[in-house]
Structure 1
Amino acid sequence: MVAMRWLAWLLFAAGSAALTFSQGGAQPAPQPQEGGVHFGEIGDPTKWPLSAIGTVRIIWGIGYSKQCTGTLVGPRLVLTAAHCVHMNGKALPPDHVHFLAGLNKGMPGAHSLAARLDVAPGYIATEAPTAAGAANDWALITLEATIPVKPIAVQALDEFAFAAVARSGAALQVGYGKDRPYLPSVRRECAIKPGANTGTFTFECLLNFGYSGAPILADVAGEPAVIGIGTLVYFAADKRPVMGVACSSTQFSARVGELLGAR
């Protein structure tokens, strides 16, 4: 009953309050406009692996919410960007953090409140995400309830495997952005390159507010696996997004394994 009340409130808040999307820094976001710029094709949230990807939504008081993208990497474990679960330099209480899996025109396939937040040990909260901090911009959310969807594996790639994926052009990114907040966007043939800092890489895929935490996937052993998550976007002087910086799965794969192994 409590979960149903929370879900009803989440759907009400999404429809009545302006969302604040946090990729590249939290700021008020306008409602999506018909005919606006979109950064990927519409995906089917009822089919795996998209059914394991959803929104991490923060509800703080009346009239304020913040949304990022999250990925189910265990039955009760969600991966997202660390800055998504921080506000005013502090980690949010778990009971203000929600995961809505497989969001389909605003209706989730499954929902759970967070029970615990596990943030990268080296993460330093800043007013806006930075390239220097991208390698530690990850967080794992332990949920109160099990999500009845197959999780997506996390795979740390060495430099040779990463280079092979980059050459193949087969990486893709899935997320919920300001341009399309209630349906998943999919960007195929996602261009990725090694980053300037250890533990990061650059990408040219989903480049908009809301795609923080959006997984970048590659085929590993015949199935999609998370190889990184979006953390920030660089914008040109004319406000055109030009490149994103991702936190590599080499940074969080071990912790994911520890948390899953402890259960």
Structure 2
Amino acid sequence: MALVAVTTAAQAQTRGQTHAADTQLRALDNGIDAAAWEAVGRLNIGGAGFCTGALIAPRLVLTAAHCLFDKQSKLRIDHGKVEFLAGWRNGRAGAYRKIRRAVVHPDYVFDGEVSSDRVRHDLALLELDSPIRNTTIRPFSTAGRPRPGDSVGVVSYARDRAEVASLQEICKVLARQNGVLVTSCSVDFGASGAPIFSFSNGVAEIVSVVSAKAEVQGQHVSLGTALGAPLALLQAELVAGKGVFQEEGPASRRIKVGHAPRETGAKFVRP
């Protein structure tokens, strides 16, 4: 599916709607607010930046595949230089862990055409060097994709709020097409890999991972990678012993990240 298909779907769903009506971001800067979200953490990427990740098992963190690539060289980052800071808040974390192994979706291409196909495969699974077994840090369950119109939420770190995670509890699913979830959730640089939650029966479950933000006819939307089969594939690869870092050869193609093909009328940017 080309970007224009996602753009068309987003336009169809957002026409006449005002995203400003969505709940604003709320900083999780005290113990009471943050208690339920300690399994969301900051991923420090070799001292050169950060993403957001979420614990889905005592030893597994879910994030976006593009977080494991260098923006300049377009090559895989040695995940041994990545650290997961669970519940990072104002200079302290509930747990600190290095990454033992990491797998990205085999169909993900970092240096390729900006398309919904790349968003659909923008998923990575990290195995920690030791499990987090802390009664206050409880891994999240995952769930199937929500339907258009459903309420979702996102917990993320970002460029202007790197020291405290923020929660946007109510945003809307605008469209879902071929493994891509289009939402009205607010994301910015650093929010890559952030978990998107559904709240069925009052329980927060991860239904997607933030891959990119987009602007469609002046409306800001975010794009999420669906879970289901892609996540099951990554889990199987870890079980098969994959995920050991190996140096890659030179990238074969260069593009200017952040610019979609002109005919789509949309600008897509990695958060």
Structure 1 residues not aligned, in runs of 5+: 1-38
Could you tell me whether the CA contact under 8 Å between 1:199 and 1:248 is conserved in 2? yes
Q: 1:218 Cα shift?
A: 0.7
Percent identity among equivalent residues? 26
Q: Is structure 2 residue 139 aligned with structure 1 residue 155?
A: no
> Aligned AA for 2:199?
D
**TM superposition score normalised by structure 2:** 0.70
Could you tell me which of 61, 75, 82 is aligned with 1:90?
75
Q: Which amino acid aligns with 1:140?
A: L
Match of 1:69 among 52, 67, 83: 52
User: Cα offset for 1:188?
Assistant: 1.6
Pair 1:245-2:223 in alignment:
yes
Q: Is the 8 A contact 1:155 1:253 kept in 2?
A: no
The secondary structure found in structure 1 opposite 2:188 is coil
Q: In the alignment, is the contact (CA less than 8 A) between 1:74 and 1:260 conserved in 2?
A: no
Alignment correspondent of 2:42: 55
Kindly indicate whether the alpha-carbon contact (under 8 Å) linking 2:119 and 2:225 is maintained by their aligned counterparts in 1: yes
Structure 1 residue 154 displacement after superposition: 1.3
* Cα pair 2:103 2:238 within 8 Å, conserved: no
Matched, 1:225 2:205: yes
Structure whose alpha-carbon radius of gyration is higher: 2
What residue number does 2:131 align with?
Answer: 146
* Contact 1:130–1:232, Cα closer than 8 Å, also in 2: no
**Contact 1:129/1:231 (8 A) holds in 2:** no
Measure, in 2, the Cα distance between the counterparts of 1:204 and 1:223. 21
The alignment's TM-score, normalised by the length of structure 1, stands at 0.72
Cα shift at 1:193: 2.4
How far, CA to CA, are the matches of 2:219 and 2:86 in structure 1? Answer: 27
SS at match of 2:91: coil
For 2:52 and 2:115, locate their aligned partners in 1 and report how far apart those are by CA, in whole Å: 18
Counterpart contact for 2:195–2:210, Cα < 8 Å: yes
Cross-structure match for 2:155: 174
Q: How many residues align?
A: 212
Which residue does the alignment assign to 2:63? 80
1:174 and 1:209 mapped to 2: Cα distance? Answer: 13
Q: Is the 8 A contact 1:56 1:70 kept in 2?
A: yes
CA distance 1:181–1:82, shift in 2 (3 Å): same
Deviations 1:10-37 (A, max 9, x none): xxxxxxxxxxxxxxxxxxxxxxxxxxxx
Distance 2:76 2:229 in 1: 19
SS of alignment partner, residue 207 of structure 1: coil
Question: What residue is the counterpart of 1:191 in the other structure?
Answer: 172
Shift of 1:175: 0.3
Contact 1:129 1:232 in 2 (8 A): no
Alignment partner of 1:104 is 2:89: yes
SS at match of 2:85: strand
Name 2:14's counterpart in structure 1: none
Alpha-carbon offset, residue 107 of structure 1? 1.5
Closer, same or farther in 2 for the Cα pair 1:175/1:57, shift >3 Å? same
CA distance in 1, matches of 2:37, 2:159: 18
Q: How far is the alpha carbon of 1:90 from its aligned partner? A: 2.2
